[in-house]
Structure formats: C-alpha cells, structure tokens
Amino acid sequence: MHPILKLVFQRLALGILLLFGASALIFGLTEALPGDAAQAVLGQSATPESLANLREEMGLDRPALTRYVEWLGGILQGDLGTSLTNKLDIADSVGKRLGNTLFLAFWAALVSVPLAIFLGLLAVRYRNRWPDKLISAVTLTTISIPEFLIGYVLIYFIAVKIGWFSPLAMVNDSMSLGQKLNAIALPVLVLTMVVLAHMMRMTRAAILNVMQSAYVETAELKGLSNFMVIYRHALPNAVAPIVNVVMLNLAYLVVGVVVVEVVFVYPGMGQYLVDHVTKRDVPVVLACGVVFAAIYIGLNMIADIVAILANPRLRHPK
C-alpha cells in the first residue's frame, strides 16, 4: 500500500477512536451538570409528581451507563435518536442546523482565506513599509475586539443607520441564494475580521522565514519580479504552516461561532447546542458534540496530509 494511503487510514482509525473518547467525555460532563432534562423542561413549574412522570417518559430513571450504551448502539447503526425535550428527530434538526453553519462557514472562508493569504503576501512584499504596517495594524485591531462588539457596531451603523443589510441573519429554505447571501453579509464580515489576522500573520511569518533561503536569492538574481519570487518560490515552501493555521481557523468558523450566531440570530449549530445544554438534552448534546469533534478531527487530518504532500522529504520517506 502506498505510504500516504496507509497514513490516511491510520489517521482515520485514530480519529474514530478519538470520537468515541469525545462522546464519552461529553456524556460524562453533561451528566455531571446539576439538574436533568426533566427539571430543566419543567423549570419553575416542577412538582415532584410531574418530575417523576417526565423522567419516566424520557427514560431518565434508568442508570446513566445503560443510556450511554444504548446511544452508542444507536449511533453505530446511524441513528442519532430523538430529542428528549421536543421529540424531534435529531438527525433531521442537526442536519438543517449543520447545513446553515456550514453555509456561513463556507462563505466566510471563501472571503477570508484568499484575502488573508493575499494580504500576507502583500505584507511580505512591502515588509516594514507602510502597507505592511497598515495591514497588521488593522487586522490585529479587529482580532483584538470581541466579535460581539464588532457585530453590534456593524449592526448599528450598517443595518440600522445606513440600512444596507439586515441585522437579522435568519436564513430559511424559502429564500433564494441572493437573499441568503444578503442576510449573512454582516456575520460573514464579522467572521472575516475575526479570523483574518491569525492567517495573515502566519502567512507573513512563514514566507519571511523562507525568504532567507538561498534559492530565493537565486530567484531574485535571475530577475524575477519581487511578487513572483514570493508567489512561485516562497509560498509553496511555506504551505505547511499556512495550511495548518487555515484549517484551525476553518474549524473555528464551524465550531466556535456561537457568539456571532446569537448576535445575528443565525439558526446554526451553536445556538441549537446551547439551548439543549441548558435543557440537559443529552442525546442532542452528544450528537452536536460528535459532529463538532468530527469536523475538528477531519480538518486537522487534512492539514497534516497536506503538510506531508507539500513536503517532498515526507512524501518520499526513506
């Protein structure tokens, strides 16, 4: 078997093992939280009888281990189960929410990744001159401001005062692609501002590192333009660290945007997960947790593989 293929399989197997670990951890932690789904649903209006009734109905009167094993059995057959609180099919609801989250993440990535790399290249080209300093200053400022504040500021000035985009990013199935893009314009902008600096700075640093090499000097000596040197010779050799940081940020765009979702009332996974954690709806929390973990593990695996493919020494091991 080709060593790369073997590596992929190894990583996949490890990833699945990791997922089981993650699910056990999530289950244990959700169980450790005070209160259970029955109490959370009934809230202030709970009485001992109604609590007992609801616990029995939800199956919470059985031991935790039994419930976990049952859940594992279900998921191995591709069944995520039904939510404790609203009896809806979890795969259905998660699917819709995940679709929304990926939609937002996709467009945010489509804007931010090329922009970050381009700005990184630009910063290297004009390093220590005003474009470099301007780019760094602006991106570092936007990453330093909490994302909810950027969100509110954009809502106030762009949506309320100028009236360009909607302050609510509530997308739904009946909207056309254009309407959806219009709705998510502001959150995409906020997310771009948040992830830009990290990727841009990494690109800049990685390329500057390569720029010290002899072959870059050779390229300069043979008369290539400054930008071409960076683009053709420095960038490919700096791909590994850049891909790593890009993947980390993509993972963030999927799993870490709860705050932005709340501010823009975006119907994504984050809000969905938070609602169900407060209701102690363990099956839903588990499903979301496993999906998040899978995305995280998957993206990191891609980063590793790309890093290996980009490096001839790792590509052809002795």
| Contact positions vs other proteins (CB under 8 A) | 33-35, 39-50, 53-54, 83, 85-88, 93, 152, 155-156, 159-160, 163, 166-168, 170, 172, 262-265, 267, 271-272, 275-276, 278-279, 281
Task: Please report which residue ranges of the chain form alpha helices under DSSP H.
Answer: 3-32, 37-42, 48-58, 64-76, 90-125, 130-144, 147-154, 177-211, 214-221, 226-228, 235-237, 239-255, 258-263, 269-278, 282-310, 312-315
What token pair was written down for 305?
């593989």
- In this complex, which beta carbon is closest to other proteins, that of residue 134 or of residue 175? 175
Residue 86 Cβ vs other proteins, minimum distance, rounded to whole Å: 5
User: Closest Cα partner for 262 from 251, 271, 253?
Assistant: 271
Residue whose CB is less far from other proteins, 207 or 292: 292
Minimum Å gap between C-beta 286 and other proteins is: 15
By beta-carbon proximity to other proteins, the closer residue of 80 and 238 is: 80
Min dist CB 126 to other proteins, Å, is 38
User: Around 156, how many Cα atoms within 13 Å sit in the side-chain half-sphere?
Assistant: 6
Q: Where are the alpha helices (H) located in 33-146, listed in sequence order?
A: 37-42, 48-58, 64-76, 90-125, 130-144
Which is nearer to other proteins, 202 or 287 (by Cβ)?
287
CA distance 19 to 72: 11
The closest of 95, 100, 49 to 267, measured between CA atoms, is 100
Least distance to other proteins, CB of residue 269, Å: 10
Comparing CB distances to other proteins, the nearer of 83 and 249 is 83
Closest contact distance (angstroms) between CB of 249 and other proteins is 25
Q: Smallest distance from the beta carbon of 279 to other proteins, in angstroms? A: 5
Q: How far apart are CA 302 and CA 59, in angstroms?
A: 40
261 vs 304, beta carbon nearer other proteins:
261
- Provide the minimum distance between the beta carbon of 281 and other proteins in the complex, in angstroms, as a whole number: 6
Strand, coil or helix: 163: coil
Phi–psi pair at 79, nearest 5 degrees: -110, 115
Can you tell me whether residue 1 is helix, strand or coil?
A: coil
**Cβ closer to other proteins: 179 or 209?**
179
Measured from the CB atom, the residue of 256 and 298 that comes closer to other proteins is 256
Q: How far is the CB of 241 from other proteins (least distance, A)?
A: 37
The residue (of 35 and 236) whose beta carbon lies closer to other proteins is: 35
In this structure, which amino acid lies at residue 307? A
Q: How far is CA 198 from CA 38, 136, 228, in A?
A: 43, 10, 24
Q: Is-contact 159 165, C-beta < 8 A?
A: yes
Compute the least distance from the CB of residue 43 to other proteins, in Å: 5
Query: How many other C-beta atoms lie within 10 A of the C-beta of residue 16?
Result: 12
Tokens standing for residue 151: 């969100």
